[in-house]
Structure 1
């Protein structure tokens, strides 16, 4: 026997006729008759006796029906549970994020999520990449938005992309408004730069070592994060090498602008989790929303860099 046969049997009992059962199941009358006949062969006894134009359940059928009805009550409860899970707007999504994504792209994604789920709660933790990766591995965060070049050990990568670094400068700098990328080889001989902890991020180590040394030699200012670096650019007139996300944040704060860089310096961003199977539906959707936004933002950054 199978579930469809039992469904036809249950519908026929309830309606008292093959015609009514067919209407309830949205199938033809011959289909219901065939299902009932197949079920009778399977159980080994008759289920109905004809009485004029109707059907009367046999004694055996009435006993059998009690068990079938109990089974369908369980199925109905499962459907109710599934409906509840599907339509719930509650729950919590926790996200660890690097600073460059925390003030523009991430809030946009959060807004999209809370519009879909009015009762959802979202917890944002701004940390550096190693701390985020550790927390995701320990399942302290549902999702992590991290930098540095993949792969990342101990986590599953849901999305990854890369964008070119840009040169951040005061908005009244002579280079602002000129066409094309700036050449760091030339700027290294003319301009002072903000470094990060006295050097440049590991993700920028594709930079020629001699160029890196020359830029560092002209640096009297150092910062451990981009907002501070941008403030130094704004107030002191020095330049900085910035990822495009942080550069956009800095421009919105005012007083600075950015230009594309001739050298190929790549900034990596990825969305990771402790395992796709552990994600709630809301967390998975949030990852998809943010990934789409980052993808669009990187396309703009690449377009800006290429001058198209």
Structure 2
């Protein structure tokens, strides 16, 4: 079977005559008849009854037409996909991120992105830095945001600006009037910590050990946003990434600088040996801009 034969057959079935099919295909009636005859020879099917110069579809023709229509639906979807790729990407963007960034900051970037790309499907997947790295390396995700990159990483890596940790307290806390919170100020305080195994938790614990500060550690959470929620209801204090803290401004907490400085590194990951799509480039441009503007706002 040849594509031109299939096109002629489909046109005859839709138009109901070789005359209508010829007009649809911008060819002659005799050429349509010839293509139909060739199709019947190639398929070894008698598709039409010839009556008074007309082609009457037989059951075989109707059955074949159903299959042809399924094939043409597939072709239409390919045409749509090609149009989408030409107009900035594949129509789907998968972003992997550590929870602190994925649960708070990324939705703000997606909001800006969807203003110009409303038809694009955006998926956000959150997990540890190691898992995010694996997702991007395997090309399950197009972009990744992590707090650290392993020595065995195969992804392309781009550093984002470092951010300094902030201290979050209930608004009526005894320390809320200070301009800056020192580690020693939190001696004996009810401290809401990330769970063991989190890299930020380990770094924070080492800092307080160096400062000789003992905290009351009866509350833990997997996500920094959950820690901040507990601060909001008065359960204690915590340290957090400023981009996470941004979600809690004006929500009954006080957010203050912390000393000594604790820097949170962040990195963008891209799949190895692969250039970014225009869609991903547009998203990353917005992400960089949003990240830099929000971090700069906390450093003023």
After superposition, the Cα gap between the structure-2 partners of 1:195 and 1:275, relative to the gap in structure 1 and judged at 3 Å, is: same
Q: Contact 1:203 / 1:268 at 8 angstroms: preserved in 2?
A: no
Cα deviation for residue 192 of structure 1 reads 2.1
Residue correspondence of structure 1 range 32-43 to structure 2 within 5 A: none
Residue from 280, 289, 296 that aligns with 1:283: 280
Tell me the equivalent position of 1:131: 131
Tell me the equivalent position of 2:290: 293
Tell me the equivalent position of 1:241: 239
Once the two structures are superposed, residues 48-93 of structure 1 have per-residue CA deviations (whole angstroms, 9 ceiling, x without a partner) of xxxxxxxxxxxxxxxxxxxxxxxxxxxxxxxxxx998553575211
Once the two structures are superposed, residues 255-302 of structure 1 have per-residue CA deviations (whole angstroms, 9 ceiling, x without a partner) of 322111121111122211113733211111111110111011111122
Tell me the equivalent position of 2:184: 185
Residue correspondence of structure 1 range 84-233 to structure 2 within 5 A: 86-88=86-88, 91-148=91-148, 153-179=153-179, 181-188=180-187, 190-197=188-195, 201-204=201-204, 207=207, 209-211=209-211, 214-215=213-214, 217-233=215-231
CA-based RMSD? 2.8
Aligned mates of 2:190, 2:276 — CA distance in 1? 46
Cα deviation for residue 218 of structure 1 reads 2.3
Once the two structures are superposed, residues 120-169 of structure 1 have per-residue CA deviations (whole angstroms, 9 ceiling, x without a partner) of 22111122222111111111100011124787722111342211101111
Q: Which moved more, 1:161-170 or 1:118-127?
A: 118-127
The alignment partner of 1:214 has SS state of coil
After superposition, the Cα gap between the structure-2 partners of 1:208 and 1:118, relative to the gap in structure 1 and judged at 3 Å, is: closer
Q: Contact 2:232 / 2:253 at 8 angstroms: preserved in 1?
A: yes
Aligned mates of 1:87, 1:238 — CA distance in 2? 50
Aligned mates of 2:178, 2:86 — CA distance in 1? 53
Q: Contact 1:89 / 1:118 at 8 angstroms: preserved in 2?
A: no
Q: Contact 1:89 / 1:117 at 8 angstroms: preserved in 2?
A: no
Q: Contact 1:169 / 1:237 at 8 angstroms: preserved in 2?
A: no
Aligned mates of 2:252, 2:151 — CA distance in 1? 37
In the alignment, structure 1 residue 270 sits paired with structure 2 residue 281:
no
**Runs (4+) of structure 1 moved beyond 6 Å?**
149-152
Cα deviation for residue 220 of structure 1 reads 1.6
In the alignment of these two chains, the number of paired residues is: 217
Cα deviation for residue 231 of structure 1 reads 2.5
Residue correspondence of structure 1 range 38-53 to structure 2 within 5 A: none
Structure 2 gaps of 5+ residues are 1-81
